[in-house]
Amino acid sequence: MQAITLAGLKATYAKGTRVSDVMAEVLRRIDSYKDPAVWISRASSEAVMARSAALDADPSARALSLFGVPFAVKDNIDCAGFPTTAGCPSFAYAPSENATVVEKLLAAGAILLGKTNLDQFATGLVGTRSPYGAPRSVYDTRYISGGSSSGSAVAVAAGLAAFALGTDTAGSGRVPAAFNNIVGLKPTRGRLSARGVVPACRSLDCVSIFANTVGDAAIIAAVAEGFDAADPFSRPMPAVLAPPDAFRFGVLPVASRDFLGDVGCAALYDAAIARLVSCGGTPVEFDYAPFRDAAELLYDGAWVAERTAAVGDFLDAHESGLDPVVKAIVASGRRFSAVDAFTGSYRLAECRNRADAEWEKMDLMLLPTAAVHYTLDEITADPIRRNSHLGRFTNWVNLLDASAIAVPAGFRDNGLPFGITLLAPAGGEVGLTNLAQRFHAASATGAGLSRTPVTVEPLSLLDKGVDLFVVGAHLSDMPLNKELRDLKARFVTAAQTAPDYELYALANTTPPKPGMVRAPSADAASIAGEVWRLTPEAFGRFVAKIPTPLGIGKIHLSDGSEVSGFLCEPIALQGARNITSFGGWRAFIASMTSI
């Protein structure tokens, strides 16, 4: 099954292929896929085709960074028009709006296919704890897909979606990636908003991304990221440099390479080390003990009580549709006291100090994503202990505030895929992108069911860059938008200012231009615009050409974030028309052309 990638879709659309034709093929694939446990709810064919037709009919839509890209969402993330079940039918509710990340992806032109299966309440790394069934590895249906983001990983690996959202508290965005031969990006905590996500451990939860290539995952994260004032755990990301050309990478000492008897995994880990050496790295053994000790706190310490805080009252009051293992785990959090929670935080601080000393030895870390790949029967026979085995190299990552990219790394003799994870301290996933791409390409694994080798993608699309908010002639369908495109700017999202700006149609400007001023008053309002991303060098060139009376300042957006954008000198408002009531320049221009 051919993998769906952003580059592949872009090339297809560039040839004139309609979105409707691509989506018809995607729907055919979904209908013919033989694992019914992938989806919990699906968008109707009519809804998908209507969205496709709307994109086809809008010439400006082709500028959107995710134009016509089909995606899926784990069913603990809110999508308006779909019930959110968290894998539990009796818990289901109908959200009135999209989660922040979903809203950003839709605004960038992506097409939502439906909601995917998961370990109930995102509790598990196995993908078997759901009343909706157990999705299987795309390579062998006797084997688990991994969890908790099981359906999302399978949807991407099976060629049903270009990317999918998961969540990752203990490894749920990485283990399923390894078991299905795809990329799993676990961003730094708080980089992607968790507003609209059913919490598992709220202080640790991350929205994660499954994709067929590292570059795709990085682009999707760049679209979805951003501070969200409505999420108390959202935070600005630190600026972290990429590893140097000659870098040190941490590897497990032989004594810590416990693959539970899986000799094939041990050999593939050795091969991954050699491959990273060929990319310019020097392996450095480090002490895994502080990371292992932190990992044990997640399920053997007071952090289990955070799962109880999230959904424990619901589980106590309901029996229908509950997985017995999930209920036992969540209920067990009540045995911990506030004293235990403080004691656990002290223990974690000790682990963090010891871990920081190990990080001093290396620029990044190379770990197996999972030690072993179990069959469904093996998990059924011993669900808790074997689930714990799967988290051996993942459970500590959010507790110690690290970032991670899970990447395919080869195949065992039995044909099952093996994956590694590249890890760095908070913010490091952006800097790891280039190296992770090179590693994936060198592994020659393909992606998902497709064995076609992936290529290293141009990093110009992946630069974090500088965001610019535009409100007038630089909008995507306006006369000066070409200035942004000539500088290789990339559309990020539609957005609105905070409700304290006024917009004016300036006099004697060619082409017609607006001027926006921040003037909190009874006449002020939110002004519609767009966010575009430029490299720092391109941003400087753009700003240097801005004519008076316009300039660049800080714009306060409606989501509480702040971004660079156009502002106007007050002197230019003499003779200008106040058009704030239109809500934006595009609406004003439309009113003029209709006269």
pTM of the model: 0.81
Q: Which residues contact 62 (CB under 8 A, 6 or more apart)?
A: 13
Identity of the amino acid at 119: D
Rg (CA), the chain: 24
Q: Which of 20, 148, 150, 403 is catalytic?
A: 148
pLDDT above 50: residue 460: no
Q: How far apart are the first and last CA of the chain?
A: 53
Complete DSSP assignment for 166-188: EEESSSTTTHHHHHHT-EEEEPP
CA distance 471 to 491: 13
CA distance 157 to 1: 9
| Peptide bond before residue 549 is cis, with ω within 30 degrees of 0 | yes
pLDDT category, 241, cuts 50, 70, 90? Answer: low
pLDDT, residue 540, reads 86
Identity of the amino acid at 459: L
**Least-confidence region, from 27-36, 393-402, 530-539, 549-558:** 530-539
CA distance 595 to 591: 7
Question: pLDDT tens digits for 380-415?
Answer: 999 999 999 999 999 999 999 999 999 999 999 999
| Catalytic site includes residue 148 | yes
Name, of 59-68, 245-254, 261-270, 521-530, the range with top average pLDDT.
245-254
Q: Is 449 exposed, middle or buried (0-12, 13-18, 19+ CB in 10 A)?
A: middle
Question: pLDDT tens digits for 86-95?
Answer: 999 999 999 9
Mean pLDDT, range 109-116, rounded to an integer: 98
CA distance 529 to 491: 11
Residue 68: name the closest of 19, 129, 141, 138 by CA.
19
CA distance 330 to 315: 8
CA distance 337 to 326: 21
pLDDT above 90: residue 166: yes
pLDDT above 70: residue 464: no
pLDDT, residue 211, reads 98
Residue 177: name the closest of 215, 217, 133 by CA.
217
The CATH classification number of 466-593 equals 3.10.490.10
- The domain segmentation of the chain, as residue ranges, is 6-289+354-461, 466-593
CA distance 167 to 172: 6
pLDDT category, 439, cuts 50, 70, 90? Answer: very high
pLDDT, residue 462, reads 46
Question: pLDDT tens digits for 509-548?
Answer: 888 889 999 988 877 899 999 988 887 778 888 998 898 8
| Catalytic site includes residue 488 | no
CA distance 149 to 208: 9
* 3-state SS class at 411: strand
Arithmetic mean of pLDDT over the chain: 92
**Residues 90 and 320: beta-carbon distance below 8 Å:** yes
| Catalytic site includes residue 172 | yes
pLDDT category, 461, cuts 50, 70, 90? Answer: very low
pLDDT above 80: residue 1: no
pLDDT above 90: residue 495: no
DSSP H helical ranges for 279-374:
289-300, 304-317, 324-331, 338-359
Q: How distant, in Å, are the alpha carbons of 62, 67, 177, 537 from that of 171?
A: 35, 30, 10, 37
pLDDT category, 459, cuts 50, 70, 90? Answer: very low
Task: Say what percent of the chain tops pLDDT 90.
Answer: 75
CA distance 204 to 79: 22
CA distance 422 to 452: 22
Q: Which of 20, 52, 74, 388 is catalytic?
A: 74
Q: Which of 20, 65, 150, 172 is catalytic?
A: 172
**Least-confidence region, from 133-142, 149-158, 276-285, 312-321:** 312-321
Mean pLDDT, range 434-438, rounded to an integer: 92
- The fourth-level CATH superfamily of domain 6-289+354-461 is Amidase signature (AS) domain (3.90.1300.10)
Phi then psi for 553, rounded to 5 degrees?
-140, -170
